[in-house]
Amino acid sequence: MVNQYDFMTTLLDYIGLNNNEDNLSPGRSFTNVLFEQYNEVQDEVVIFDEYGPMRMIRDYEWKYIHRYPYSLPRTISKRS
């Protein structure tokens, strides 16, 4: 599975500028997939998404969706 975070890490790895010690990105390079060198399997995949008043996180087995009340964003903006 490839995430949007993986594109910059892959690009830097492909052009030889990937320095894993200084890389603070959560992405992982998928250049081995591009060149069909499957010597490592990524067994930990977590997906996080936010859509409107919902926040979601999932892994291979489970998906958790937290729905905020619809009035919550309006309440917060009135206080500030």
Q: Is the pTM of this model over 0.85?
A: no
Tokens representing residue 47 in the block: 């997906």
Neighbouring CB atoms inside 10 A of 42's CB total 11
The tens digit of pLDDT for each residue in 23-66 reads: 677 777 888 888 777 666 556 666 666 667 777 887 778 888 88
Q: What are phi and psi of 74, to 5 degrees?
A: -70, -35
Report which secondary-structure segment, H or E, holds 13.
Answer: helix 5-14
Residue 73: pLDDT band (50, 70, 90) is low
Q: Using alpha carbons only, how large is the chain's radius of gyration in Å? A: 18
- What letter would DSSP give residue 44? -
